[in-house]
Amino acid sequence: MLEVHDLHVRFGGIDALRGVSLRAEPGQIVAVLGRNGAGKSTLLRTVSGLVPPWRGRVEWDGRPISGHAPGAITRLGIVHVPEGRRILAELSVRENLMLGGYGRRRERDARIEQTLEMFPVLRERLDTSGAALSGGQQQMLAISRALVAGPKLLMIDELSLGLAPIIVEELAQRLEQLRREGIGVLLVEQEYPLALRLADYVYVLQKGRVRFEGAPEAARDVLMSSYLGHRTAGGLARG
């Protein structure tokens, strides 16, 4: 289980996160929603060790991991798929997948095979460079590379960004498959209708704070207020 307690992050005197607390469990999709600049990506980067917290703590299975190096956090089972995919474009699909299993050679080949069953289009393009893939295929590769690392919790920043609806739907089905297999997903997403459909639990960030947490069906009014700038009957509250 991932638990974030009263997390504060500052950049040059600006508070990017202000007292954020959340939790995510295996076999659960947790969505983190909000407008651009709300602190969503900063939250994932802090959990994965790329950004140090100013105050607060991150725990994994009850043990503090704040201050751990990103590689150590990945080895614990928390794997981050960043916004923009960040595949290595000059390397082939095969080489990108092999990098996902760096240090796990014994398990790597079996996990690569599992990801190719999940995304068969990548099997057809194993020797193709990442740069030659479509945007949807690059996102599939980024998720597959993360899965080769053997995550217990997969953190995905902007699953649907720039992708055609048919590709987004395929990716959504794969996240549902991961949930059934007991892998947790912490999903940052701008397209909140998609996230609400997938999520078991929702957090809405606004200006670095959690302004709502609760069931997806209770989050709609809050999101309308956050995105469109007016209050609705649901208010900004805990669900």
Residue 235 has pLDDT above 50, yes or no: no
Interval 100-105 mean pLDDT:
70
pLDDT for position 209: 94
Q: 3-state DSSP call for residue 115?
A: helix
Across the chain, mean pLDDT equals: 89
Q: Choose the weakest-confidence range: 73-82, 100-109, 115-124, 163-172.
A: 100-109
pLDDT bin (cut points 50, 70, 90) of residue 104 is: low
CA dist., res. 125 & res. 59, Å (int)? 38
Can you say how many angstroms the Cα of residue 7 is from the centroid of all Cα atoms in its chain? 17
Q: In what order do the strands lie in the sheet with 55-60?
A: 14-24, 2-11, 55-60, 63-64
Residue with tokens 């999940």: 118
116-161: pLDDT as tens digits: 999 999 999 999 999 999 999 999 999 999 999 999 999 999 999 8
Interval 193-218 mean pLDDT:
93
pLDDT for position 103: 60
In the chain the domains, ranked by start, together with CATH numbers, are 1-77+187-239 (3.40.50.300)
10-59: pLDDT as tens digits: 988 889 999 999 999 989 999 999 888 889 999 999 999 999 999 999 99
CA dist., res. 138 & res. 89, Å (int)? 9
Residue 233 has pLDDT above 70, yes or no: no
Nearest of 63, 98, 83 to residue 155 by alpha carbon: 83
What pTM does this model have? 0.89
Interval 183-191 mean pLDDT:
93
Residue of 121 and 67 predicted with greater confidence: 121
